[in-house]
């Protein structure tokens, strides 16, 4: 895919946002095996739908100030789209295998990417310059997250390992086998004091980030845990499983607050809206669903993907 196609994508998205005149509003972005990125409003209207080249969409990330959308593909591309200025568009041949994870740091100045070939790369988010890279895991890098102060990067891999890297990926601060099976998700809570990891073993493990001590191990799902997300306030942790269920936890107590069957088949991604009132899930069944956090009731089912939805993100229009 050339830059023209990417540019068209970003310009059309920007034009739709501006011309619709929504003012402040929340949009849901989804990407899937059908090679499309779709954008929905919270009423369920599909406001944008476009194929991005000839590759499945495997990862999505939105800059914390909501100015930039980044797309990862099955062939290793990372595509930057600046929605605010409509002028900064970039497509990078970033990895030799599928991009499995994309994460911005809290300041939005850095982007980390991981891939199915075990590579981990650090990028300048503004210029797209590669700042550091390493082979992080034997097998896929399934998860990555910056610490709250952006001084380190925590990763989880198909090799059952959790690793903590210095920012420039020169060495590991710590590493150990943390799950019986692949590590599938890593999340840091908003105040940076708690880390959550998930694995194919069905467990969610909670860690004290100050001393890297294991606080609690929860048998969360009967099958693999596929995704995790902390609520904006950090008081709730959502886990989503290959069994199609969503569970909400009080992370410090390890108590189950609520659970429900969300999808027919695996849930590949989960994210809270910024107000913490809605949980968004993306399923292998080709649907994106919105749920009321307080009740677990379904608000909307978004259909249109022809195949599994691999990634979901939230974009707030100023």
Extract the tokens encoding 250: 């009080």
The per-residue DSSP string of the chain comes to: --HHHHHHHHHHHHHHHHHHT--SEEEEEEEETTSEEEEEETTS-EEEEEE-TTS-EEEEEE-TTS-EEEEEETTSEEEEEETTTS--EEEEE--SS-EEEEEE-TTSSEEEEEETTSEEEEEETTT--EEEEEE-SSS-EEEEEE-TTSSEEEEEETTSEEEEEETTSSSEEEEEE-SSS-EEEEEE-TTSSEEEEEETTSEEEEEETTTTEEEEEEE--SS-EEEEEE-TTSS-EEEEETTSEEEEEETTTTEEEEEEE--SS-EEEEEE-TTSSEEEEEETTS-EEEEETTT--EEEEE---SS-EEEEEEEEE-
pLDDT tens, 70-108? 999 999 999 998 776 644 479 999 999 999 999 999 999
Task: Name the residue with tokens 């993100």.
Answer: 313
Confidence of residue 5 (pLDDT cuts 50, 70, 90): very low
pLDDT in tens, 117-174: 999 999 999 999 999 999 999 999 999 999 999 999 999 999 999 999 999 999 999 9
Per-residue pLDDT tens over the stretch 205-225 = 999 998 779 999 999 999 999
Q: Tell me what percent of the residues of the chain surpass a pLDDT of 70.
A: 91
Q: What is the pTM of this model?
A: 0.91
């Amino acid at each position: 895919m050339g830059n023209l196609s990417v540019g068209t994508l970003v310009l059309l998205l920007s034009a739709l946002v501006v011309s619709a005149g929504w003012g402040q509003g929340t949009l849901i972005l989804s990407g899937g095996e059908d090679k499309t990125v779709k954008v929905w409003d919270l009423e369920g209207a599909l406001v944008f739908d476009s194929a991005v080249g000839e590759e499945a969409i495997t990862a999505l990330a939105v800059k914390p100030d909501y100015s930039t959308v980044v797309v990862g593909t099955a062939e290793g591309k990372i595509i930057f789209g600046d929605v605010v200025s409509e002028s900064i568009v970039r497509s990078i041949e970033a990895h030799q295998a599928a991009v499995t994870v994309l994460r911005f740091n809290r300041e939005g100045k850095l982007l980390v990417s991981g891939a199915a070939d075990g590579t981990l790369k650090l990028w300048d988010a503004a210029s797209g310059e590669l700042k550091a890279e390493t082979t992080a895991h034997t097998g896929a890098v399934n998860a990555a997250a910056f610490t709250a102060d952006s001084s380190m990067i925590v990763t989880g891999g198909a090799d059952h390992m959790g690793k903590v890297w210095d920012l420039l990926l020169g060495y590991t601060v710590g590493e150990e086998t943390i799950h019986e099976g692949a590590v599938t998700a890593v999340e840091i809570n908003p105040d940076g004091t708690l880390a959550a990891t998930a694995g194919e073993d069905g467990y969610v493990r909670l860690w004290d980030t100050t001393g890297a001590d294991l606080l609690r191990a929860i048998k969360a799902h009967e099958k693999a845990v596929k995704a995790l997300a902390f609520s904006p306030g950090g008081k709730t942790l959502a886990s989503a499983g290959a069994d199609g269920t969503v569970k909400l936890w009080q992370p410090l107590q390890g108590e189950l607050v609520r659970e429900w069957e969300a999808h027919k088949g695996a849930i590949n991604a989960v994210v809270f809206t910024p107000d913490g009132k809605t949980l968004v899930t993306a399923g292998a069944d080709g649907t994106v669903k919105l749920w009321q956090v307080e009740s677990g009731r379904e608000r909307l089912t978004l259909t249109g993907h022809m195949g599994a939805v691999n990634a979901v993100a939230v974009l707030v229009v100023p």
